[in-house]
Amino acid sequence: MNNQIEVNGNCHCGKIKISGKCEQGMVVACHCTDCQQFSGAPFRPVVIIKKDDIIIEGQVTEYSKIADSGNERIQGFCGTCGCQLYARAPDKSVFNVRTGFLKQQHTLTPAKHIFGQSKVAWIEKILEGRWHVGGPDSNEMHLNF
Ligand SMILES: [Zn+2]
Ligand SMILES: [Zn+2]
């Protein structure tokens, strides 16, 4: 296969490991309201991996939701640390793996954005706020906030 890449990662507590092979371009950022609510974030990027190309180690907790379309989507996450891992079809044919826990996430640029109708109103202003290299306890924050 052309442009196939290997991805891997684990949940925050380390109980679940996922690895797989996917096409570089198969990354989709979903801006639907369910993704916003599940993640507490403006959108969720996923890389699409076929059943035969994914290896899941550990016990994934699953939650079934019915989309507006009527389709059932199974949401997989770690029952211990809450890390969101994937959405899958009921027949397990395809897994949409969340890129945020994958070590390769920085190379997984979304090729498509879906549900743009519900994107957060400030998405195009994301670079306009003040950006800090460090976290909330770093000196620069105390000096500049
Ligand atoms: Zn975990
Ligand atoms: Zn979504």
pLDDT tens sequence across 69-107: 889 999 999 999 999 999 999 999 999 999 999 999 999
Q: Using the mean position of ligand 2's atoms as its centre, give its distance from the Cα of residue 69 in Å.
A: 12
Tokens read off for 39: 């993640």
Burial of 30 (0-12, 13-18, 19+ CB in 10 A): buried
Could you tell me which of 115, 68, 73, 80 has the C-alpha nearest to residue 10?
80
Q: Using the mean position of ligand 2's atoms as its centre, give its distance from the Cα of residue 117 in Å.
A: 12
User: Considering the domain boundaries, does residue 145 fall inside one?
Assistant: no
pLDDT at 20: 97
Tokens read off for 95: 């897994």
- The model's pTM is 0.91
Q: Using the mean position of ligand 2's atoms as its centre, give its distance from the Cα of residue 5 in Å.
A: 24
* Total domains in the fold of the chain: 1
pLDDT at 2: 63
Low-confidence ranges of the chain (pLDDT < 50): none
pLDDT at 68: 79
User: Considering the domain boundaries, does residue 126 fall inside one?
Assistant: no
Residue 131 neighbours by CB distance under 10 Å: 7
User: Considering the domain boundaries, does residue 95 fall inside one?
Assistant: yes
Residue 110 domain boundaries: 4-120
User: Considering the domain boundaries, does residue 114 fall inside one?
Assistant: yes
User: Considering the domain boundaries, does residue 63 fall inside one?
Assistant: yes
Alpha-carbon distances of 20 from 2, 8, 50, 93, 97, rounded to whole Å:
15, 6, 9, 14, 9
The domain spanning residue 93 has which CATH number? Answer: 2.170.150.70
User: Considering the domain boundaries, does residue 142 fall inside one?
Assistant: no
Burial of 124 (0-12, 13-18, 19+ CB in 10 A): exposed
Closest ligand relative to 85 C-alpha: 1
